[in-house]
Structure 1
Amino acid sequence: MKPVTEHDVRTSFVNCSKGEAKRLHLPKDFADLPWPDLDFLGWRDPGAPGRAYVVAEHGNRLVGVALRAASGAARGFTSRSMCSLCLTTHGSTGVALMAARRRGDPDRYASVGQYLCADLACSLYLRGQRRTSVGADYDESLTLEEKVARTRANLHAFLDRVTRP
């Protein structure tokens, strides 16, 4: 991902008000993010853990989406889940169901949900810069470039569903 500014991020959101975008908390390490290793910018709001954000290059522009992490009972200690973007397997709470309000939908309850890495660090898991507690449970024959392309395609499909009128 190309480096972006705070202004770029705040003006990219398509499913929240300008006021909400202005008030959101950026990642603490925003100035030091490893931009060349990111396929998208994703983070949980440190002031409100149930909120999360994804910003990505999509359709020749920067698109930001505000997400809500579903709350619910913790799964069992031995349970595993898989992120639907990067296909990384996590233990117990490493994957969260996140929902995005659809852009411009008059029904304010219309949303699109997706199971995502709870910390939204898909890019770092793909590149082996972050590890899960369960480790890899299967070997893939795909190259890193192919995994990145698959993750981006999955992300773009999600963003298409959120931004579709």
Structure 2
Amino acid sequence: MRAITERDLRSCFVNCSKGDAKRLNLPKDFTQAPWDDLDFLGWRDHKAPDRAFLVAETGDRLTGIALRFASAPGKARGFNSTSLCSFCQTVHTGGGVALMSARRSGDAGKRGDSVGQYLCADLACSLYVRGKKQTLLGDAHNDGVPLEEKVARIRANLDTFVASVLA
């Protein structure tokens, strides 16, 4: 992903008001984000634990999506259970995967329509597939798929999700 500015970030959201986008809390490490290792920028709001945000490059533009956790992150599952992220297929224990919903853009969103996905609770999918971050399971669930295929899988799943929010 290319490096983006705060102005670019705040102006690209498709499913919240301009005022909401202006007030959203940026990731704490926004200026030091590992852009070369990101397929999308995703973060949880450190002041509102039920909110998260995702910014992706779609075609030649940025698309920002405001997300909500369907339930309290980390509370829904026990440590012995495992869950799979819909974007990157990373297996997590406990609350490492959370159901997140996004209000659709436009009239559909105004009517209350939304879409949901089970995603890495910290939205660090890109870092998991590149081995820059590990789950509590370590490499135990490495699926042996080459990195290029994993990145293509994230992009395809991300593009599908963004298209469903925009539809």
TM value normalised by structure 1: 0.95
Corresponding position of 1:93: 95
> Alignment partner of 1:28: what SS?
coil
Q: C-alpha separation between the residues in 2 aligned to 1:77 and 1:153?
A: 30
Go from structure 1 to structure 2 and tell me whether the alpha carbon gap of 1:151 and 1:106 turns closer, same or farther (over 3 Å shift).
closer
- How much has 1:146 moved relative to structure 2? 1.1
- Note the C-alpha offset of 1:95: 0.3
Give the secondary structure class of the aligned counterpart of 1:113: strand
Paired residues for 1:16-95 under 5 Å: 16-72=16-72, 73-95=75-97
Amino acid across the alignment from 1:119: D
Please state if 1:150 is matched with 2:136: no
Deviations, residues 53-88 of structure 1 (Å, cap 9, x unaligned):
000001321000000011155312210000000000
- Helix, strand or coil: the match of 1:146? helix
Contact 1:10–1:21 (Cα < 8 Å) also in 2: yes
Compute the RMSD of aligned alpha carbons. Answer: 1.3
- Within 2, Cα distance between the matches of 1:88 and 1:136? 10
Q: Give the aligned length.
A: 164
**Which residue of structure 2 lines up, in the alignment, with residue 160 of structure 1?**
163
Question: Unpaired segments of 5 or more residues in structure 2?
Answer: none
Q: Structure 1: how far apart are the matches of 2:110 and 2:24?
A: 23
Mean Cα deviation higher: 105-114 or 126-135? 105-114
- Structure 1 stretch displaced more, 97-106 or 80-89: 97-106
Task: Tell me the distance in 2 between the aligned counterparts of 1:58 and 1:90.
Answer: 27
CA drift of 1:141 comes to: 3.6
1:108 Cα shift? 3.4
| Distance in 2 separating the partners of 1:138 and 1:51 | 28
Cα distance between partner residues in 2 of 1:80 and 1:11: 36
| Partner residue in 1 for 2:115 | 112
Question: In structure 1, what residue type is equivalent to 2:115?
Answer: V
TM-score between both structures, scaled by the size of structure 2: 0.94
Cα deviation for residue 137 of structure 1 reads 4.0
In structure 2, C-alpha distance between the alignment counterparts of 1:161 and 1:117, rounded to whole Å: 19
Q: 1:77 to 1:3 in 2, by over 3 A?
A: same
